[in-house]
Amino acid sequence: MRSKLFVPGSRPELFAKALASEADALSFDLEDSVAPARKVEARLALRDFFRSGKLAACSKTIIVRINASDTPFFADDIQAMVQTGVHMLNLPKPRDANDVRQTAQAIGQAQIDNQVSGTTGLLLNIETPNALRTAHELAMADPRVVGLQLGLGDLFEPLGIGRRDTAAIQQAMFAVRMAAGEAGVFAYDTAFADIADEAGFLAEAQQARRLGFLGKSCIHPRQVALANAAFRPSDEEVAHAQRVVAAARSASTQDVGAFVVDGKMIDAPFLRRAEAILATAARLGLTA
C-alpha cells in the first residue's frame, strides 16, 4: 500500500476512474471533503457503488474514512460502509481507547447485519495532541486496529506549527512509528496539500519511508506515481536483501547467529528487515 488516493464520497463520477488508477489503495471519504449538507447523499452513493459488484475484480485495498464518533453521521456511516470488498474503515480523531473499542464493536455488529464475512479492519488517524500522546494505547485498544495514520494538517495547524517544519514533522512521524511498532500495526503517512510541489511531496514521502512508514496518502492522482516511487525498494536494496537471506540460510546450517554481508554485520533484526524488503519486492513483481 505504497499510495492511497483520497476520493470524495460526494463525487461518484470519480469512483470508476479511481479504480482504474495506479494507486495501491483508495480512501473513499465521507469526512472533510464532503459538506455537511451532502453527507447522506455521499454515504448512499458509496453504499450503492460498493453493492454494485464493481469491487469484485479490484485488487486495490479499499478504505472508507467515516465521520468522527462525536458527529451525528458516525453510526449510519458504519452501518452503510461495512460492505463486502471494503477492507478498512478509517476513524478520524479517536478520543481514547474506549472510543476505538466502541467503533470496533459497531463494525462487528454491522458485519453481522450486512452479512459481511472476514474482518473489516480499523485505521486510526493520529491528528490531535491527545491522540499523538496516547497513540500506542489507541493502537492496542482492539484487534481490529491494523494501522495508525498521521494527519499533520489537523495536528499542526490549530497549534500554529509550520506544516513544512522538518524537525516537527520528523518528531511526529517518529512518535507514530514507535506507537505502531509497539502495537504491531503499520504506520501510514499524512497527506501533502501543495499539489504543485512534487519535490516537497517526494521528500516527505522519502522521509516517511526512512522511518518505516508503509506508504503515503495522496489527495490528487498526480501524487500517486511519486508515492509509488518513494516506497518502492530500490534494485540495490533488493539485491542486498537477497544476499542477506542467502547468507542466513548458509549460516543456519553452521549454527552461526551473526554473519557479514557486504561488509555489514547481520543478525536477526537485519534478517527480518531483508525478508520484509523481499516480500514487498515480490508483491510488486520486482523479483523472479
Domain end call among 206, 230, 254 = 230
For residue 122, the cross-strand partners are 89, 145
Within a domain: 105: yes
Tally of domains within the chain? 2
Cα(43)–Cα(78) distance, rounded to whole angstroms? 10
What number of helices (H) and strands (E) belong to the chain? 12, 10
Region 138-156: what's the mean pLDDT? Answer: 97
| pLDDT confidence band for 56 (50 / 70 / 90) | confident
How far the first Cα of the chain sits from its last, in Å, is 21
Tell me phi and psi for residue 92, to 5 degrees. Answer: -80, 150
Please state which of the ranges 50-64, 208-222, 252-266 shows the lowest mean pLDDT: 252-266
Is 102 in the same domain as 225?
yes
Q: How far apart are CA 1 and CA 25, in angstroms?
A: 6
Task: Give the pLDDT of residue 255.
Answer: 78
Mean pLDDT of 215-228: 97
Mean pLDDT on 177-205 = 97
* Pairwise CA distance, residues 163 & 155, whole Å: 9
- Residue 144 and residue 212 share a domain: yes
User: For residues 255-269, b (16+ Cβ closer than 10 Å) or e, as one string?
Assistant: eeeebebeeeebeee
Q: Which three cell numbers stand for residue 195?
A: 499539489
So what's the pLDDT on residue 155?
97
CA distances from residue 224 to 117, 143, 148, 149, 221 in whole angstroms, order as listed: 30, 30, 20, 17, 5
- My answer on whether 50 and 102 are in the same domain is yes
121: in domain: yes
Residues 160 and 93 in one domain: yes
- 81 with 190, same domain: the answer is yes
Supply the CATH number for residue 197's domain. 3.20.20.60
Q: Per the domain annotation, does 172 fall within a domain?
A: yes
Residue 186 carries which side chain, given as an amino acid letter? F
Mean pLDDT of 113-137: 97
Contact 251, 259 (CB under 8 A): yes
Average pLDDT over residues 72-83: 98
Q: Are residues 42 and 133 in the same domain?
A: yes
Segments forming the whole domain that contains residue 150: 3-230
Both 108 and 168 in one domain: the answer is: yes
pTM of the model: 0.92
Indicate whether 202 and 254 sit together in one domain. Answer: no
Q: What phi and psi values does residue 91 have, to the nearest 5 degrees?
A: -95, 115
pLDDT at 253: 84
Note the helical H segments in the chain. 15-19, 39-51, 74-81, 97-114, 129-133, 135-139, 152-156, 166-183, 198-210, 224-230, 235-253, 268-283
**Mean pLDDT in residue range 228-234:** 94
Query: Is residue 151 a part of any domain in this protein?
Result: yes
- The answer to whether the CB of 150 falls within 8 A of the CB of 126 is yes
Report the chain's mean pLDDT, rounded to a whole number: 95
